[in-house]
Structure 1
Amino acid sequence: MTPPATSSRFRAVWWLISLGIMATIWWLSSSADTPGPPLVHPLDWIAHFTAYFALAYALGRATGRRDIALLIAVWWGALDEVHQAFVPGRDAGVTDWLFDLAGAWIGSRWATRRRGAREQGEGEAETVRNQSW
């Protein structure tokens, strides 16, 4: 088991990573002229999925809770889509947000699955050890 000081240090790093991903998403959607060639379907949807997978994964590691990670990522995606509606040359789309949602859903579960499985496995082992027949 990881000591609390180390655990809180790692969580702080994951919060910084989360904020960095959020800032990058906002920066990319603030400009009509993003770096590189414009992405066409389905590549733009893959980019949405990947970005929000990464965001929710980082948030899941930072918070330790998949529901909070999912909520923050999904709301950030919705806010970003509304934001894009006001950026010249950009448009907001429900389909984009659905790919954000899908990436966030899987990312939040991926981030918390290992710890949950490990704790469940340890809990089962402890239960078996403590059972009196």
Structure 2
Amino acid sequence: MAAIWYFSAQPQTPGPRLVHPLDWGVHFLVYLALGFALGRATGRPGLAWVLAAWFGALDEVHQAFVPPREAGVTDWLFDTAGAWLGSWAGAGREEAGTDEPDA
């Protein structure tokens, strides 16, 4: 979360400027990783998704105050989509490890 906050506070991120739809793909992948980490940490995919979605919304508002960045609802939708998939994958892996084989 700190890395996301740090990079979104920069006027320009390292590397070439991404345009849509590549930008949305990055949003999806970054929040997929965040959702996965939160899913693993909490073991509760719904909670992990809500936390990641809340953080994504907060980060978009934050970007509205960092020139030349802009806040975008579409960016947030890709954040939440990635977080949803990541949170279920992260929490699901924990549950999969607790199953005992049939005897």
Paired residues, number: 103
* Letter paired with 2:29: T
In the alignment, structure 1 residue 115 sits paired with structure 2 residue 94: yes
In structure 1, what is the equivalent of residue 63 of structure 2? Answer: 84
CA distance in 2, matches of 1:113, 1:87: 36
- The TM-score, its normalising length taken from structure 2, stands at 0.91
CA distance in 1, matches of 2:43, 2:68: 38
Larger Rg: 1
Q: Tell me, which stretches of 5 or more residues in structure 1 are unaligned? A: 1-21
In structure 2, what is the equivalent of residue 96 of structure 1? Answer: 75
Of the three residues 42, 51, 72, the one matched with 2:21 is 42
Q: Which runs of 4+ in 1 moved over 3 A?
A: none
Q: With CA pairs under 8 Å and 6+ residues apart, which has the higher RCO, 1 or 2?
A: 2
State how 1:63-78 maps to structure 2 within 5 Å. 63-78=42-57
Q: Tell me, which stretches of 5 or more residues in structure 2 are unaligned? A: none
User: Pairwise CA RMSD of aligned residues?
Assistant: 1.6
Q: Percent identity?
A: 61
Deviation at 1:115, TM superposition (A): 3.1
Deviation at 1:41, TM superposition (A): 1.0
